[in-house]
Amino acid sequence: MKTATTDQPAKELATMQAIVQDAYGEAEDVLRLEQIDRPAIGDSEVLLRVHAGGVDRGVWHLVTGLPYPVRLAGYGVRAPKTRVRGREVAGRVEAIGKDVTAFQVGDEVFGIAEGAFAEYACAQPGKLARRPETLTAIQAAAVSVSALTALQAVRDHGHLQAGQKVLVIGASGGVGTFAVQIAKAYGAEVTGVCSTTKMDLVESIGADHVIDYTRADIADGAHRYDVILDAGGNRPLRQLRGALTPRGSLVIVGGETGGRWLGGFDRSLRAPVLSRFVGPPSATCKQVRLAGRSSLISAADQVHWRCHRDAMGLGDAGRVWVLTRADL
């Protein structure tokens, strides 16, 4: 990407390169690079020079518009309302609104911004933190959405305690890799579930046991868990409940195999209802997804610093990167 200099025409200074989309579809069909206007910031906002943007699973949902309820959640029914995707970000503060006191121009930061797949993006100061020198921009850009989700699942919804047994389904994914490490940091005995080729990865980030879901059943009757964090597949609630201890908790983070209409979301609706009827001594079902991704992101203000501190030292989630700048 080009860096704007004072020799360049004013129009080019006011514009930027961005990856845009005007229709829902697969990334290779609908995403393209375009020169567009730089975002304008409000009095309480920060303009970032983007160094790296992370691709979390939510990006795929918004690019494809799937499952369909995503479109009804305000992103645009027939076509995306906003053209630039990307939320996980690391970059340098380029400009600040007059009411911003938390950051100064030149600060290296990371966190959540709208439209991170561009040279510049607009962010709320409460969703940013200073980037520690120990993290590269590329590493930092992978933290925000996935690690916040993992932290909320482990701590706020799972209420995980030291010594408890936790099953992380989807342990090799964006959320699961953070969940395994945060659960270990909380002193739990962690069993990770993933496919054959990712078993080494899940073991390397600290899981005590690893189950290959292509070869073994998670509910074998022999093992029961105090907390199950479900971030992969679309297992029936009955099966998940069968793997819980009598007072265990199920936290449904998400799943990708539930079809174009519900995407597995129906389990999040049914789980709290089921929980009322099965009551103690059976399982309680909790879920994160009902709150929705946007709620999680707005909740970032409260858990922001804690999350970054907790997740930061825990390692790189092994994610896919886009828009890295060679000169920064």
**Near ligand NAP in 209-268, by CB under 6 A:** 213, 231-233, 253-256
Does residue 191 touch ligand NAP according to CB under 6 A? no
DSSP string, 106-123: T-EEEEE-BS-SBSEEEE
Q: Which of 144, 146, 181, 275 binds ligand NAP (CB under 6 A)?
A: 146
**Is residue 84 left, alpha or beta, with left meaning phi > 0 and alpha meaning psi from -120 to 50?**
beta
What is the DSSP code string of 178-208?
HHHHHHHHTT-EEEEEE-GGGHHHHHHTT-S
Give Cα 111 to chain centroid, integer Å: 11
Q: Tokens 């054959």 map to which residue?
A: 196
The region of 23-31, 134-142, 188-196, 238-246 touching ligand NAP under the rule CB under 6 A is 188-196
Q: Which residue is nearest to ligand NAP (CB)?
A: 173
Residues contacting ligand NAP: total by CB under 6 A: 30
The size of the chain, in residues, is 328
φ/ψ region of 28 (left if φ > 0, alpha if ψ in -120 to 50, else beta) reads alpha
* Single residue of 175, 251, 283, 311 touching ligand NAP by CB under 6 A: 175
Query: Should residue 308 be labelled a site residue for ligand NAP when binding is judged by CB under 6 A?
Result: no
Instruction: Say how far residue 126 (Cα) sits from the centre of its chain.
Output: 17
Only one of the segments 77-85, 131-139, 142-150, 240-248 lies at the binding site for ligand NAP (rule: CB under 6 A); that segment is 142-150
Query: Smallest gap, in angstroms, from Cβ of residue 132 to ligand NAP?
Result: 23
Q: How far is the CB of 297 from ligand NAP (least distance, A)?
A: 8
233 or 315: CB nearest ligand NAP: 233
Shortest distance, position 281 Cβ to ligand NAP, whole Å: 27
Contact between 167 and ligand NAP per CB under 6 A: no
Is residue 198 at the binding interface for ligand NAP, with CB under 6 A as the rule?
A: yes
For ligand NAP, give the closer residue by CB, 268 or 275.
268
- CB nearer to ligand NAP: pick between 80 and 170: 170
| Cα gap 270→241, rounded to integer Å | 13
Distance in angstroms (rounded) separating the CA atoms of residues 278 and 285: 10
170 binds ligand NAP (CB under 6 A): yes
- Do 154 and 186 form a contact (C-beta atoms < 8 A)? yes
The C-alpha atoms of residue 89 and residue 86 are separated, in whole angstroms, by 8
Binding site for ligand NAP (CB under 6 A): 56-58, 145-146, 149, 169-176, 193-195, 198, 213, 231-233, 253-256, 288-289, 293, 296
